[in-house]
Structure 1
Amino acid sequence: MPENWVELMDSYSYANQEFNPTLLAVNEGLDLKKVENLTGRLSAIGLLGFDLDDNNFFYRRLPFKTSRILTLNPRLKDAEKLLAEGKVQIKSNTGNRVEAEVEGSGVHHMVLLEADQDRCTCMWFSKNQGERGVCKHILAVKKLLAK
Structure 2
Amino acid sequence: MNVMRMEKGFKGAGELTNEVTLAEADVLRFARSDKVYLGRDKTLNSDLPWVCAYLEIAPDGDVDGHGGEAVLLGGRVVGSTASVAYGHTVGKILAFAYVKPEAAVPDTELTVIIHGSARAARVLGQAAYDPESALPRVDAKLKDTQ
TM-score past 0.5 threshold: no
TM-score for both structures, normalised by structure 2 = 0.26
Quick check: which one's helix share is greater? 1
Give the greater-gyration-radius structure (CA): 2
Higher relative contact order (CA 8 A, sep 6+): 2
